[in-house]
Amino acid sequence: LQNPDITITDNVLHFRAQGHGAKGDNIYEFQIEFLEPVEPKPVCRVTQRQLNITVQKKESNWWERLTKQEKRPNTLLNLILHLKEEEKINKMKIESRVPKDPFRHLKKGYLVMYNLVQFLGFSWIFVNMTVRLFILGKDSFYDTFHTIGDMMHFCQTLAIMEIINSLIGLVRSPLAPTVMQVFGRSFILFVILGSLEEMQSKPVVFFIFYFWSIIELFRYPYYMLSCIGIEWKPLTWLRYTAWIPLYPLGGLAEAVCIVQSIPIFNETGKYSLALPNPLNITIQFSFLLQICLIALFLGKILN
């Protein structure tokens, strides 16, 4: 409504204003005759979605009803119904302008299934590691890779789909952070742990897998429920709170893993590049790992 004209004459409130709705510009007006005398100066407060009119009684006694008429004035009722109808029409027009995706149900079903599978996979990892920790204690640290590695390989390989989903616009997640997380974990899992048997029995593997699984226990069900328009507030709180301690702890475990692998790569010369030149210069793979340490530190800060 624009330019509302509101006056009170002889205990009758006169309302007149111009408004723009589904049918274009219109003049809206109505009158309310109060049951008993009121102050002639109403107080108006305009907000973005509504107009509040406050009318003060002349005497602070109890009224049986607001108006002299026993029923609500038809003009006011019609105005309210008319505004609600226009709001409904406007909403329908806005929705009709948005092109409908014929594959939206298929996409939604795919995202629900993807997040469900990842949630089940990481749940299995977390429960398995927790049970082994209670039963075996510290001894479970040394064979984590051999008992959990296959499932972690499956979940991390499947995580490549997150890059594709972001790349084709299937999800709103930004591409760069997604690529950094997926390739960062894949580098730790496949290149360092997967290629060095000496690293597979180190306790740091337990902490890497444990922190990864706990983070995903909240992230994937949150995404799964979001796909079907459900918000569970405790899960939302955990999704955006649990990562605050877990994310740096996971990054610290990954950094320890890289540091522990550097002497092994130097000793074995694995993945080192020997250049055919008179100086016989060799580019050690450990140099790349040191760069990865710096990138890991910067990535955790930026994310």
Catalytic amino acids? 247, 254
* Cα 32 from Cα 37, distance rounded (Å): 12
Q: What is the CA radius of gyration of the chain?
A: 33
* Cα 28 from Cα 76, distance rounded (Å): 10
* Cα 203 from Cα 253, distance rounded (Å): 10
Helix ranges (H only) for the chain are 74-97, 104-136, 144-158, 160-167, 175-186, 194-195, 197-200, 204-227, 233-241, 243-268, 285-302
**Do the beta carbons of residue 276 and residue 244 sit within 8 Å?**
no
In sequence order, what DSSP letters do the residues of 1-64 get, joined into one string? -EEEEEEEETTEEEEEEEEEETTEEEEEEEEEEBSS-B-S--EEEE-SS-EEEE--BSS----S
Structure tokens at 221: 């069900």
b/e map of 97-130 (b: 16 or more CB within 10 Å)? Answer: eeeeeeeeeeeeeebbebbeebbebbeebbebbe
